[in-house]
Structure 1
Amino acid sequence: MRSPEKEDLPSPGRWECPHSQTKMASTSPESAAAAGETNDPIHIRRLELVDHERGFVALLSQLSACPDLTASEFAERFAELAAQGDDHVILVAEDPSAPERRVLATGCLFVERKFLRGGGKVGHVEDVVVDAAARGRGLGLRIVRRLVEIARDAGCYKVILDCTPELRAYYAKCGFVEKGVQMAVYF
């Protein structure tokens, strides 16, 4: 049987995102119904410039301090990230049938290129958040699974993330195992 999640994503080599684009996305979003996950019409796709107006930054503020960005500031950061191509992927979940088409969930993957393991690559999952009103629908799980799939397809030898202790069980459901201790210096 066809795997829509995998086949609907273009191969990593085709995800070129020059500054002039308004999408960091594949043009064929995955739908939950097509993937056989639920009857939910949610689409998972790459971040687009229009997502500034659809509440992307406000959604991030549910995760951590995130001052609002003007449309111009958002566009500038979007262009910087899009220029990184497949090394920086931001996915969003939306319900295209909803009148406002708000961003309901998001997650990010960035690829670190290493000298270790023969010049291998490591995927880092970051900034996973689901809107408080949309929780319990499996959106975070779907975002994380897609990010892991993208990392695997990009040739990463592992995918890592940091989380708070209370989210250990959640990320275990996503296939992650506890490995080591995360430490940080904040500025």
Structure 2
Amino acid sequence: MIVVINIYDEKILDEAYKIDSKVSIKDNFRIRPLAQNDYEYGFLTVLSQLTEVGDVSRERFDEIFDKMKTNGCYYVTVIEDLETNQIAGSATLFTEYKFIHGGGLRARIEDVVVDNKYRGQNLGVALVQTLKSLSKVLNCYKLTLDCNDRMISWYQKYFAFQIEEGRSNFLTIRF
């Protein structure tokens, strides 16, 4: 018997879908938490369509996975193609406690990507809607994301994200 280790408990997705109904996707796809064996099913290949991944060995992948799972604030969510078992898309919800807002929990969406061969099937919409619902289940007071300029209207159209006047500066230092 193969033991599948997920980065978070899949049951929380059922709670998320009680708040907001699941976005319709074809029956041959499944939304679920990242599993440790997804290294073999193209997770990093899909992620490399978003940004540079670099050389991440299986050993390094397992180290990162274990740290993220132990931390408990990473909700890496994938869409699996059930016909091929390959990862078709991925997005991450990251949460952090704050001293502000009564010690509230803030959520941020990162690393949204759908494999080129699966685009145009609303998989990105399904992923982001799932993370939006998940942030509600977790009682987050705010959900944010950073995206490139060409994606702003997409996030506004499908999810009601808004640019906050006077608060839309994104500064970066890369090392």
- Compute the TM-score of the two structures, normalised by the length of structure 2: 0.85
> In the alignment, what sits opposite 2:170?
182
> In the alignment, what sits opposite 2:17?
none
> In the alignment, what sits opposite 1:58?
45
Which deviations, in whole Å up to 9, do the C-alpha atoms of 1:14-60 show, x marking residues without a partner?
xxxxxx97212445687xxx947244421000000110000101111
Instruction: Tell me by how many angstroms 1:77 deviates.
Output: 0.6
Secondary structure at 2:45 match in 1: helix
Contact 2:4–2:37 (8 Å) recurs in 1? no
Contact 1:57–1:68 (8 Å) recurs in 2? no
Indicate yes or no: 2:10 matched with 1:23. Answer: no
Contact 1:93–1:143 (8 Å) recurs in 2? yes
Instruction: Tell me by how many angstroms 1:74 deviates.
Output: 0.7
> In the alignment, what sits opposite 2:80?
94
Question: How many pairs are equivalent?
Answer: 162
Out of 123, 127, 134, the position equivalent to 1:143 is 127
Contact 2:25–2:123 (8 Å) recurs in 1? no
Q: 1:37 and 1:55 mapped to 2: Cα distance? A: 23
Q: 2:8 and 2:103 mapped to 1: Cα distance? A: 27
> In the alignment, what sits opposite 2:18?
none
Contact 1:44–1:94 (8 Å) recurs in 2? yes
Change (3 A) 1:105 1:128: same
Q: 1:89 and 1:40 mapped to 2: Cα distance? A: 23
Across the aligned residues of Structure 1 and Structure 2, the Cα RMSD in angstroms comes to 2.1
Change (3 A) 1:66 1:39: closer
- Where does structure 2 lack aligned partners over 5 or more consecutive residues? 15-20
Q: 1:138 and 1:36 mapped to 2: Cα distance? A: 9
Aligned residue identity for 2:80? E
- Where does structure 1 lack aligned partners over 5 or more consecutive residues? 1-19
Q: 2:6 and 2:170 mapped to 1: Cα distance? A: 33
Alignment of 1:1-187 (within 5 A): 22-27=5-10, 35=22, 37-85=24-72, 87-96=73-82, 98=83, 100-172=84-156, 173-179=158-164, 180-187=168-175
Q: Runs (4+) of structure 1 moved beyond 4 Å?
A: 27-30
Contact 2:78–2:127 (8 Å) recurs in 1? yes
Contact 1:47–1:92 (8 Å) recurs in 2? yes
